[in-house]
Amino acid sequence: MKSDDDITQRRPMDMPLARVPVGDVHVIAERCKECGYCIEYCPTQVLVYTKEMNTKGYHYPIVAEGKETSCVHCKYCDLICPELAIYTTSSDDDRDSDG
């Protein structure tokens, strides 16, 4: 059985060249019905519910404090949204793989 250390020591040879995309999140608040799919399945936990409600009384997603540059533009929130209420765009500000 390998320890965590063994596993983390194996790094792809081109790791320093890899660029991690950064995305900007756009929310169409009036379409949201608070199903929570985007918040639950964001791989970098960028989103939280707002305290305010939209006109239908739902708490919609916003970017959590301190997570402004954490979106990796994977578009999963966009694709799974049943309401077409959220999408991401590339921020042209990719960072290297070491963060």
Closest approach, Cβ 69 to another protein, in A, equals 11
Report CA 41 to chain centroid distance, whole Å: 8
Among 18, 20, 30, 90, binds another protein (CB under 8 A): 30
The b-or-e profile of 36-74 (16+ CB within 10 A means b, else e) is ebbbeebeeebbebbeeebeeebbbbbbeeebeebbbbe
- Contact call for residue 42 and another protein (CB under 8 A): no
- Contact call for residue 82 and another protein (CB under 8 A): yes
Interface residues toward another protein, by CB under 8 A = 24-31, 33-37, 40-41, 54-56, 58, 60, 62-63, 68, 76, 79-85, 87
